[in-house]
């Protein structure tokens, strides 16, 4: 056949609350970026999390600052069903991180439901690197609320901003 084959760009979506982004999230973003042409980090406006600790716009800003050194990462937000967002972005792979067995049950359920609603969407899981397996955004928020040290838990470039953010809301 004449002509050049047009290779389709491999896009994945890494969804989450990212309230705030942690080193564990950044680990997954970097590794996904090594595999896919483009990684869209998508902040969910999740009504079940009561609006969250930080506004979505601030969370996006912090993700953007943390990923500035990475070439193929974009930051976005979405409302509603993840599969509808996947359709909008013409993406067919959802990336999720698994930290421990305890994550498995809920992640398995979400992956199955998403697959049932839209079979063309695949969820791929990456094991979180062991040094980050104990980190969660809620633990970060709690430590910060007691003025504890989170420098080993969140990206260095956003440390000052997150600590200042806390001071401004208390």
Applying CB under 6 A, the residues found at the interface with ligand COA are: 15-17, 19, 22, 24-25, 28, 44, 46, 81-82, 97, 99, 110, 113-114, 128, 132, 135-138
Q: Measured between alpha carbons, how far is 44 from 126 in angstroms, rounded to an integer?
A: 20
Q: For the stretch 123-136, what's the b/e string if a residue is b when 16 or more beta carbons lie within 10 angstroms of its beta carbon?
A: bebeebeeebbebe
CB of 81 to ligand COA, least distance (A): 4
- Kindly tell me which of 4 and 42 has the beta carbon lying closer to ligand COA: 42
Residue nearest to ligand COA (CB): 24
CB of 79 to ligand COA, least distance (A): 8
Q: Of how many residues is the chain composed?
A: 170
CB of 138 to ligand COA, least distance (A): 3
Of 81, 94, 41, which is closest to residue 65 (Cα–Cα)?
41
Tell me the DSSP string of 30-63.
Answer: HHHHHHSSEEEEEEE--GGGTT-SS-HHHHHHHH
- Kindly tell me which of 44 and 63 has the beta carbon lying closer to ligand COA: 44
Which residue carries 């199955």 as its tokens? Answer: 112
The encoded tokens of residue 153 equal: 């838990």
Catalytic sites, residue numbers:
25, 49, 99, 137
- Kindly tell me which of 87 and 161 has the beta carbon lying closer to ligand COA: 87
CB of 30 to ligand COA, least distance (A): 11
Q: Measured between alpha carbons, how far is 46 from 43 in angstroms, rounded to an integer?
A: 9
């Amino acid at each position: 056949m004449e002509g050049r084959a047009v290779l389709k760009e491999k896009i994945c979506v890494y969804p989450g609350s990212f309230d705030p982004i942690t080193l564990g999230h950044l680990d997954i973003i970097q590794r996904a970026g090594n595999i896919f042409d483009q990684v869209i980090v998508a902040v969910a406006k999740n009504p079940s999390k009561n609006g969250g600790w930080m506004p979505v716009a601030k969370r996006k800003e912090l993700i953007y600052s943390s990923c500035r050194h990475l070439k193929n990462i974009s930051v976005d937000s979405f409302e509603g069903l993840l599969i509808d967002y996947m359709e909008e972005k013409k993406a067919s792979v959802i990336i999720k991180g698994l930290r421990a067995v305890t994550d498995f049950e809920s992640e398995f359920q979400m992956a199955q439901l998403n697959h049932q609603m839209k079979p063309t969407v695949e969820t791929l899981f990456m094991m979180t690197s062991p040094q980050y397996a104990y980190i969660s955004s809620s633990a970060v928020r709690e430590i910060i609320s007691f003025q504890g040290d989170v420098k080993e838990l969140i990206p260095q470039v956003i440390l000052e901003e997150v600590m200042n953010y806390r001071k401004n809301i208390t």
